[in-house]
Structure 1
Amino acid sequence: MSKAAEIDIASVSKVYGTTTAVHAISLKIPAGSYCCFLGPSGCGKTSTLRMIAGHESLSSGDIRLGNVVITDFPPARRGTAMMFQSYALFPHLDLVDNVAFSLKMKGVQKEERRAKALEMLKLMQMEAYATRRPAQLSGGQQQRVALARALITDPEALLLDEPLSALDPFLKIRMRAELKKLQKTLGITFVHVTHSQEEAMALADVIVIMNDGRIEQAAAPRTVFEKPATAFVARFMGDHNVLSGRVTSIDDGIVTLTVPDGQIFSVRDIAQEIGKSIDIGIRTDRVRLEPASEKSLGFQGVVANVEYRGASVKITVIGAGSDDFTVVVSDADYFTKPVSTGDALSLSWAMEDVIPLGRLSA
């Protein structure tokens, strides 16, 4: 396999008519890393991947792979390979010819390309199926063939567009582990588009969270989980509650914010001015089912929903200007003092568990 390369995206935009799909994003993806682009449908993640691959032109900016500016290169000259969501295998060719196809296009002799294709099928543990056609394979097997076909060109970066979306839940988890192992074995840069938070957390060294054509945060999974940069990231990752309000006082580094229904909360280490709108985040697993004391913050709300999840229970509460404030408690804690929909419930958390959330300037 060839050496991994850093991908440098410099002020890249994509405009379709009057719609801007990607707003001048800049990002460096380290060589040999597993990078996941994550975000809701229409956030610009697939457009970005297709621009890296050369399947989509750039409206402005540049893309560099290693030391080479590849902005104007056709896909085959970029040193990248793309695996599509649909796998796009040729139904009339056996697996060897499917995998060898790009080498055939490059004029590589039949024996040499077939030998290389068999080598790739071996890497994917698919050599026993070499003479089969794609229709005779399961979804997971077709995916392995599509991966072998993408990797046969020795790319410096492999680009994956929602590669696991067509698989059933059990196979998804198994293929996730295989993708991670494959990336470590090959040592090349993987760029993977997904809308699954769990998938991105499980796979990535770097998670790039996009929203409305902009990058909200690009960081290691643990950083994204522990310190979401914005309210959007906190909400999208699903492990944080977000409370929004206005700054009503600042005293000795502690900022007080008042939410629309009048309740008051505090946060440390956030530079703000009085009257400004701010957001704070509180992890769902750091909220306790007890009233606030002198040393903690909290509110009383009404239980909207209770979901039993086996080892944990998820309780959704209405209050503090939020209609979906979420608490995740252990099953043991919940069943010691269970609650039902419509019950009043006191919640609290420690000041050190409050995360100040920034806002993206448009």
Structure 2
Amino acid sequence: MSQAAEIELASVSKIYGSTRAVHAISLKIPAGSYCCFLGPSGCGKTSTLRMIAGHETVSEGDILLGNTIVNDLPPARRGTAMMFQSYALFPHLDLVDNVAFSLKMQGIEKPERRNTALEMLKRMQLEPYASRRPAQLSGGQQQRVALARALITRPQALLLDEPLSALDPFLKIRMRAELKSLQTSLGMTFVHVTHSQDEAMALADLIVVMNDGRIEQAANPRTVFERPATAFVAQFMGNHNVISGRVVERTGDMTTIEVNGGGRFTALGVPTHDDPHADFALRTDHIRLAPADDPGFGFTAIVQNVEDLGATVKLSVAGAGVEDFTVVLRDADYYRNPVKAGDAVPLSWARNDAIILGRVAG
């Protein structure tokens, strides 16, 4: 296999007519890492992947693979391979010829390309199915054929466009593990586009959260999960409450904000912007049903709804001017002292659990 390559985006933009789909993003993806671009539909993640692949032109900026600017190179000369969402297998060809197709396009003789294709099928544990056609395979097997076909060109980086979206939930989880195992064993740079937070958390060394054509945060999964950089990241990852209010006090490394309903809360950090308003994030599973030791680190809420999710119980609550607030408790903690809709409950959290969020420059 070819040596893995670092990928660098230097102020890369994509403009379609009067629409700027990607706004001057800069990023370094280390060689041999698994990078996931994560975000909602229309955020620019697929356009970015297609620019790296060479299937879209770069409107502004540069893309480097290793030390080479590849903006003007066709896809076949970039040292990348792309695996598409649809797999795009040829229905009339057997697996060997499907996998060997790109070698055929390179003019490699039939015996050599078929032998190489068989080796790739063996790596994917598909050798017994070599004479079958795609329609005779399961979804997971088809995906492995598509992977084998992408890897046969010995790329420096493999680009994956929502490769698990067509699979059922159980197969998704199994194929996720296979992808990570394959990337680790090959030591290759993988760049994977997804809208699934779970997928990105499970696979990535580097998560790049995109919104409206901009990078909101690029960090390892644990940092994105525990320390979201912006309100968008905190809300998109789905494990934080985000509260917005007016800054009323700064003391050392703590900031106190007041929400419209009059509640005051203190959070760790100081806003880096001049806006008199600020947002803070608080993990839904770091909240206790107990009175706060200090003012600013809790409030009394009315339970709106209770959902038993098995291992956890989710409470939707409101109070102190905060209308949409979620508490996730371990099932044992909830059933030790169960509550129901309409109950008033004290909520609290540790001093360092609420964190001030940043803003992405417009």
With the shorter chain as reference, the TM-score category is: over 0.9
**1: CA distance, partners of 2:322 / 2:96:** 56
1:340-355 equivalent positions in 2, closer than 5 A: 340-355=340-355
| Structure 1 partner of 2:70 | 70
Deviation at 1:271, TM superposition (A): 4.7
Deviations 1:262-311 (A, max 9, x none): 10011233156897110111111111112223376111222222221211
**2: CA distance, partners of 1:77 / 1:117:** 20
Contact preservation (8 Å) 2:250, 2:270: no
**2: CA distance, partners of 1:282 / 1:308:** 21
Which shifted more, 264-273 or 208-217?
Answer: 264-273
Per the alignment, do residues 64 and 272 of structure 1 end up closer, same or farther by CA in structure 2, a change over 3 Å counting? closer
Deviation at 1:203, TM superposition (A): 0.3
**2: CA distance, partners of 1:272 / 1:180:** 37
Per the alignment, do residues 257 and 92 of structure 1 end up closer, same or farther by CA in structure 2, a change over 3 Å counting? same
Secondary structure of the 2:35 match is: strand
**2: CA distance, partners of 1:154 / 1:67:** 18
Aligned length: 362
| Structure 1 partner of 2:90 | 90
Which shifted more, 43-52 or 297-306?
Answer: 297-306
Which shifted more, 314-323 or 47-56?
Answer: 314-323
Deviation at 1:25, TM superposition (A): 0.3
Per the alignment, do residues 321 and 75 of structure 1 end up closer, same or farther by CA in structure 2, a change over 3 Å counting? farther
Deviations 1:294-352 (A, max 9, x none): 37611122222222121111111123444331111111111122122232222111211
1:69-148 equivalent positions in 2, closer than 5 A: 69-148=69-148
**Counterpart AA for 1:154:** R
Deviation at 1:183, TM superposition (A): 0.3
**2: CA distance, partners of 1:200 / 1:131:** 34
Matched, 1:47 2:47: yes
Matched, 1:180 2:180: yes
Q: Which runs of 5+ in 2 are unaligned?
A: none
1:1-362 equivalent positions in 2, closer than 5 A: 1-271=1-271, 276-294=276-294, 297-362=297-362
**2: CA distance, partners of 1:78 / 1:11:** 19
Deviations 1:43-85 (A, max 9, x none): 0000000000001111111100001111111111110000000
**Counterpart AA for 1:160:** L
**2: CA distance, partners of 1:9 / 1:18:** 22
Contact preservation (8 Å) 1:91, 1:135: yes
- CA RMSD across the alignment: 1.4
**2: CA distance, partners of 1:252 / 1:220:** 28
Secondary structure of the 2:200 match is: helix
Contact preservation (8 Å) 1:248, 1:275: no
**2: CA distance, partners of 1:331 / 1:252:** 37
Per the alignment, do residues 252 and 104 of structure 1 end up closer, same or farther by CA in structure 2, a change over 3 Å counting? closer
**1: CA distance, partners of 2:59 / 2:277:** 34
Secondary structure of the 1:90 match is: coil
Contact preservation (8 Å) 2:266, 2:296: no
**1: CA distance, partners of 2:194 / 2:232:** 17
Which shifted more, 105-114 or 245-254?
Answer: 245-254
Secondary structure of the 2:165 match is: coil
**1: CA distance, partners of 2:104 / 2:272:** 61
Which shifted more, 98-107 or 307-316?
Answer: 307-316
Deviation at 1:150, TM superposition (A): 0.3
**2: CA distance, partners of 1:80 / 1:43:** 23
Which shifted more, 166-175 or 268-277?
Answer: 268-277
Secondary structure of the 1:351 match is: coil
**1: CA distance, partners of 2:321 / 2:73:** 51
Contact preservation (8 Å) 1:243, 1:321: no
Contact preservation (8 Å) 2:265, 2:296: no
Contact preservation (8 Å) 1:7, 1:64: yes
> Post-superposition, which runs of at least 4 consecutive aligned residues in structure 1 deviate over 4 A?
271-275
**Counterpart AA for 1:234:** A
**2: CA distance, partners of 1:202 / 1:269:** 29
**Counterpart AA for 2:220:** A
**2: CA distance, partners of 1:317 / 1:267:** 20
Per the alignment, do residues 235 and 321 of structure 1 end up closer, same or farther by CA in structure 2, a change over 3 Å counting? farther
**1: CA distance, partners of 2:275 / 2:55:** 47
TM-score (norm 2): 0.97
**Counterpart AA for 2:267:** V
Per the alignment, do residues 49 and 312 of structure 1 end up closer, same or farther by CA in structure 2, a change over 3 Å counting? same
Deviations 1:141-174 (A, max 9, x none): 0000000000000000000000011111111111
Q: Which runs of 5+ in 1 are unaligned?
A: none
**Counterpart AA for 1:267:** A
Contact preservation (8 Å) 2:255, 2:270: yes
**Counterpart AA for 1:297:** F
Contact preservation (8 Å) 2:269, 2:355: no
Deviations 1:181-203 (A, max 9, x none): 00011111000000110110000
**2: CA distance, partners of 1:102 / 1:186:** 20
